[in-house]
Amino acid sequence: MEFFLPAVELVAQPSVLLAILFGTVIGTIVGVLPGLGPVVAITVCLPFTFSMGQIPAIALMLSVYCTSTYGGSISAVLINTPGTPASAATCLDGFPMTKRGKADRALGWVTIASVIGGLFSVVVLIFAAPQLAAIALKFGPQETFALIVLAMTCMAAVSRESMVKGLLAGMIGLFLSVFGPDPITGDIRFSFGIFQLTAGFSLLPVLVGIFAFSEVFVRAAGLHPAVDVSQMRVGFSVPPWAEWRIRLGVLFKSSAIGSFVGTLPGTGAAVASFMSYAEAKRSSPRRENLGKGEPDGLIASEAANNAVTGGALVPTLALGIPGDPVTAIMMSTFIIHGVAVGVRLFVDSPVIVYTMFVSLILVNVLMLVIGAFGAQFFTRLLRVPEPLLMSMVVILTFVGSYAVRNSEFDLLVTFVAGILGFAMRRNGFPTAPVVIGLVLGPRLEENLRMGLVLSDGNFGTFFESPLVVFLFVLTAALLGWPVIRARISGLFKKK
Amino acid sequence: MGATFDEQYTSLGIGDDHGPMFFPRILLGIWLLLATSVLVHGFFGGTPGGSGRGQIVRAVIVIATVGLTAYLITVIGFLFASAFCLFSVSYLLGYRNPISLMVTTIIFPIAVWWIFANVLLITLPTSPWFDLI
């Protein structure tokens, strides 16, 4: 309560409320448009934050993050095409409802489930993040190093194509982070005589290039399927309480699954959504109707994917370890605005932390209002031609990367990063580990070197603490999992 | 990897047993191993499927156009370069409605420039011909 009231006062400022409203609308719009998703939404909004104050900028980023995940469900319901991968499971029951002429009701289910899932995860965030930060305050360089190694491995381990490609992508990101001054001695590395490289790569131009530009290039190469745009007009209908009451179990279970999955690095909203859907299919009393337009399916998918937003912020705020590319970009934006996320944030700037909590609550409530009154408008957005949208994304991405430090060199960096992202996606390499590697690289190196300095170069100290050993064992298990899994399935086949 | 043993780096990190090249060498070593594994796997596992030749050519032209835009922003300023980008990228991606394309090409860059210059007070690169744009 000590920090809650000052936080409410800060959020109640007109500039912050306006930022939240703007972010909620833009986030939903970008989420609705198939294939764009939260990363592009945040990228597009990035340049707008540079001239804002600290709190409005944070509020804007958080609102875009939450609502872009929700926006994806609208196109999933209406045109059977998820706006974001996180809403893919929503298609399974959302579109059948639309085909039965119940699109209004389907939008009601997904909107309210998204809001409750989001609010549930904020509660988890409020209770879990300070506890985790308090524990992490006692971490030394060895513990932090082991934790970052584990987070990086998690990112690579869940790569859909292959773990080796995920690890390689992580290495690329880590290597990009070593350009510029050495974190211990300050010596300049890998500048190759280029003055701008003496400071290393600025994070945001690389991130937005890898995600936003590669998306445009991927579409130009026809790797992304074209969308059949609907011409329908729909409204919004709130499902009655009697129908909600029998589904409260699914709602809260899905919210809990989403919040938990969100805290695990590299998993993300799509994984949470499908896990929750699978659980509903296993345990729901109406499971035989799933896939035919059953509200349980919509609730399971949407409550879970929106609950990921709060969950993913737990390690980001408490440990400074982003769980996915979206939180990585948000984290770097926070740094630009003078907010260093991580363990010290809760000790040094508790009001800012509570401001984030209050903003998230407000965003989720506002999402309901925007969803209810904007349904028709968002439906019309689906008719905007994709080529125009893509070229607008290119322009806003250039503005964003240039405005970080008014550097023309950053335009070049963004462009080259876009080509790198495109080449990786075309060849089945995940791009998320590059971003996480780039963000965590400096801390990984600093903690490794600090640990060695403190122990007079003795690597043995990295295996003394039980926590460090536990984290390394977990990392080894993750790395060895494909081999273990292959052996186990081989044994079953023999039998 | 070879560059990390370059003469310019040998004198760095005096007083620190694990100097500035310590961490990059670990990364590059792991990178080398993983890249070899991917290469071997790719060699025996075939090539990834993807788009046709025509679409790849289109992607290359779009990439070149975006690269040209990055260059033009520094030469003719944001407003003109972004108008060029919007028109050409939209056209290359298959948009053929001339009126809508022209209207968007004119209005969108001006709107973005106006918002950034006058509302957000962020200066974008200007052209050599005009003071403001």
Separation in Å, CA B57 to CA A221, A240, A255, B52:
8, 53, 45, 9
Which residue from A185, A220, A408 is facing B62, i.e. has the nearest CB?
A220
- Which tokens belong to B117? 């210059």
- Within a domain: residue A230? yes
- Which tokens belong to A40? 């592009």
In tens, the pLDDT along A297-323 reads: 999 999 999 999 898 898 888 888 887
Rounded to a whole number of angstroms, the distance from the CA of A395 to the nearest CA of chain B is: 6
What is the H or E stretch that residue A103 is in? helix A103-136
Residue A431 and residue A39: Cα distance in Å, rounded?
12
> Is pLDDT above 80 for A82?
no
pLDDT of residue A235: 79
- Within a domain: residue A82? yes
Say which range, A146-150, A393-397, A487-491, B68-72, has the weakest mean pLDDT: A487-491
Report domain extents, chain B: 2-45, 53-119
pLDDT of residue B73: 94
pLDDT of residue A421: 93
- Within a domain: residue A176? yes
Interface test with A, best of B11, B18, B57, B66 (most A CBs within 10 A): B66
> Is pLDDT above 90 for B130?
no
Contact by Cβ (8 Å): A87, A72: yes
pLDDT of residue A125: 92
∠ CA A47-A439-B14, nearest 5°, is 125
Stretch A118-141: mean pLDDT: 89
* A391 interaction partners in chain B (CB closer than 8 Å): 85-87, 89-90, 93
Contact by Cβ (8 Å): A233, A379: yes
Cβ separation of B108 and A51 shorter than 8 Å? no
Cβ separation of A182 and B12 shorter than 8 Å? yes
- Within a domain: residue A490? no
State the total domains in chain A.
1
pLDDT of residue A480: 84
- Which tokens belong to A164? 């080796």
Question: How many beta-carbon contacts under 8 Å exist across A and B?
Answer: 181
- Within a domain: residue A279? yes
> Is pLDDT above 80 for A368?
yes
In tens, the pLDDT along B56-92 reads: 889 999 999 999 999 999 999 999 999 999 999 999 9
Say which range, A100-114, A401-415, B12-26, has the weakest mean pLDDT: B12-26
Say which range, A327-336, A445-454, B22-31, B60-69, has the weakest mean pLDDT: A327-336
Average pLDDT, chain A: 86
Contact by Cβ (8 Å): A317, A348: no
Residue A68 and residue A53: Cα distance in Å, rounded?
22
Residue B22 and residue B20: Cα distance in Å, rounded?
6
- Within a domain: residue A28? yes
* A448 interaction partners in chain B (CB closer than 8 Å): 23
In tens, the pLDDT along A212-248 reads: 888 889 888 876 555 555 455 577 888 999 999 999 9
Cβ separation of B59 and A220 shorter than 8 Å? yes
Question: Chain B residue closest to A403 (CA)?
Answer: B122
- Within a domain: residue A477? no
Which residue from A217, A415, A452 is facing B18, i.e. has the nearest CB?
A452
In tens, the pLDDT along A238-280 reads: 899 999 999 999 999 999 999 988 887 766 788 788 889 988 9
Interface ipTM: 0.90
Interface test with B, best of A152, A395, A410, A440 (most B CBs within 10 A): A395
What is the H or E stretch that residue A270 is in? helix A268-283
- Choose between A191 and B60: higher pLDDT: B60
Residue A480 and residue A206: Cα distance in Å, rounded?
31
Residue A490 and residue B3: Cα distance in Å, rounded?
44
- Which tokens belong to A83? 């706006």
What residue type is A483 in one-letter code?
A: V
- Choose between A83 and B124: higher pLDDT: B124
Contact by Cβ (8 Å): A265, A271: no
Stretch A67-76: mean pLDDT: 87
Cβ separation of B18 and A449 shorter than 8 Å? yes
- Which domain, by its residues, includes A437? 4-464
How many C-beta atoms lie closer than 10 Å to residue B77's C-beta? 20
Question: Chain B residue closest to A181 (CA)?
Answer: B20
Stretch B116-121: mean pLDDT: 82
pLDDT of residue A448: 92
Rounded to a whole number of angstroms, the distance from the CA of A134 to the nearest CA of chain B is: 29
> Is pLDDT above 80 for B45?
no
pLDDT of residue A34: 72
Q: Per this entry, what is the length of chain A?
A: 495
* A408 interaction partners in chain B (CB closer than 8 Å): 73-74, 125
Which residue from A50, A391, A406 is facing B90, i.e. has the nearest CB?
A391
What residue type is B7 in one-letter code?
A: E
Q: Are strands A180-181 and A188-189 parallel, antiparallel or unpaired?
A: antiparallel
> Is pLDDT above 90 for B6?
no
- Which tokens belong to A303? 């409550």
> Is pLDDT above 70 for A161?
no
